[in-house]
Amino acid sequence: MKSIAIIGAGITGLTAAFYLKRSGVPVTVYEAGGRSGGVIQSVRQNGFLAESGPNTILETSPKISQLIRDLDLASRRLNSNPLAEARFVVRGKKPVAMPASQLGVFTSKLFNGKMKLALLREPFVSPRRAGPEESVAEFVTRRLNADFLDRMVDALVAGIYAGDPHKLSVQHAFPRLKALEDKYGSLIKGQMAGARERKKTGEIARDRAPKVSFDEGLQVLPDALAAQLGDSLKLKTPVTKLSQTADSWRVTTANGEAEHSAVIYCGTAFKLAELEINGAPISRSASGENSNEPVRRSALRAFSEIRHPPVASVVLGFRREDVTHPCDGFGMLIPKVEGFNILGTIFSSSLFPNRAPAGHILLSTYVGGERQPELATLPPEKLAELVCEDLRKLLGVRGKPVFQHVAFYPQAIPQYNVGYGKFKVLLEETEKSTTELFFAGHFRDGVSLADSIVSGGNVAERVQVLLGKS
């Protein structure tokens, strides 16, 4: 049996490869870059541990804890500090803690009278059963009100997508919200009923899911996966062409060609748009002629249309006495109406131990996205100054940072904007019309780190079914 080709050694590709190899299926992972793990990169320096990309895994699925056990990483796993659960949203230029309970909403300073009334009214708002696809902004203002959008949802969207709620599709960016209205007619009714259903499946809501990392940061996970793959992982080996023959796929790289039983694409959407794919014709067009791949290749160029705004990660370390705010929580999100340059900040050293030396604090801040993409492209020193200025106003930061790490992602998070369904349909149609070709990853199955891990596990299961090994 020829190996399965996996394109992309981010967390999705690594997870898929690990489970396939574990089940006895040979794999070859092609990675264009010089390291595996994608945006996951942990940097240890001078006693600080900076995460260049995501900071935590939200353990929303039992498949995540299973992966950690399967890799024998349980002893290195860290759960977030239970005393650092508070999430802050900026209101009136100050971080205000989110209420810890549903009843707490009605005493919280985050919610004005109109917002509280909207919550009481929401179960009685008629569900929308038809009509054009809605943006997140349209959905929220219809079911709640504009204050909820501007003060809460805008901040949430910035934290997850670095996106714009007026552009993002509620159906694709937040499918669970849309599903609650479709099934229960109300978000609040659905939240209560959905909790019972999640209990049966073992899934956990995002706001209640354990936050997980490892003793030396998230990079422990991709490093462990890569170690399991050994020589099956080919770094600095970009794939330029895929060609399907009668009984295999031919993968072309700068180093030559290789034959594989199937291909799993786990790269980015914008690289998929550049990839030449020549699949064997397996159906006939209306004219009776064989459908040929140039049509499909042309269609896949549509993936270049998916918006990926630039984002910069700015991780700064300070002396504890130089930060007035206790930073005793997960972090803070900032609505656009508050007028700051940063999207939000994670209180990294409060979440997990050994992220900063004794007597110091580590703060991870994000800049850019759809809100102000031009800021993400600033030089590192300018970015650090910009972040320090906002943190001075918000957290009472004094003096200069004693540690600094900046990472820039020119094409960061895929935006599931209104109309995104056409890309998902195109992926499904391509898989149906081209045998032994699969797609997985954050441009298809969700943008969170947890989504990517689950996507990798799921595509491995699909391939095993194809091969009759499940």
List all residues 6 or more positions away from 205 whose beta carbon is below 8 Å from its beta carbon: 60, 194, 195, 198
| b (16+ CB within 10 A) / e for 156-173 | bbbbbbbbbbebbbbbbb
Residue 156, Cα to own-chain centre: how many angstroms?
Answer: 13
Mean pLDDT across the chain: 93
The residue with tokens 């895994």 is: 57
Mean pLDDT, residues 340-344 taken together:
98
Confidence of residue 461 (pLDDT cuts 50, 70, 90): very high
Strand ranges inside 87-206, DSSP E: 87-91, 94-97
3-state secondary structure of 104: helix
pLDDT of residue 198: 60
Residue range 172-230, pLDDT digits in tens:
999 999 999 999 999 999 988 876 676 666 667 777 789 999 999 999 999 999 999 99
Window from 189-203, 245-259, 316-330, 368-382 with minimum mean pLDDT: 189-203
Distances (CA, A) of 451 to 45, 176, 470: 29, 13, 22
DSSP 8-class letter at 81: P
Nearest in space to 264 (alpha carbons), one of 12, 11, 2: 12
| Predicted pLDDT of residue 285 | 39
Rounded average pLDDT over 437-463: 97
pLDDT of residue 289: 43
pLDDT at 192: 82
Per-residue pLDDT, 435:
87
What is residue 202's predicted lDDT score, i.e. its pLDDT?
A: 63
Strand-pair category, 342-346 with 276-278:
unpaired
Instruction: Reply yes or no on whether the pLDDT at 375 is more than 80.
Output: yes
pLDDT digits (tens, 9 = 90+) for 280-316: 654 433 333 444 444 355 678 999 999 999 999 999 9
pLDDT digits (tens, 9 = 90+) for 90-135: 999 999 999 988 888 999 999 999 999 999 999 999 999 889 999 9
Domains and CATH numbers, the chain: 4-38+219-305+416-467 (3.50.50.60), 44-83+308-409 (3.90.660.20), 111-201 (1.10.3110.10)
Q: What DSSP line would sit under 358-414, residue for residue?
A: TTEEEEEEEEETTT-HHHHTS-HHHHHHHHHHHHHHHH-B-S--SEEEEEEESS-SP
3-state secondary structure of 324: coil
pLDDT at 300: 87
pLDDT for the residue 294: 43
Q: Is the pLDDT of residue 8 over 80?
A: yes
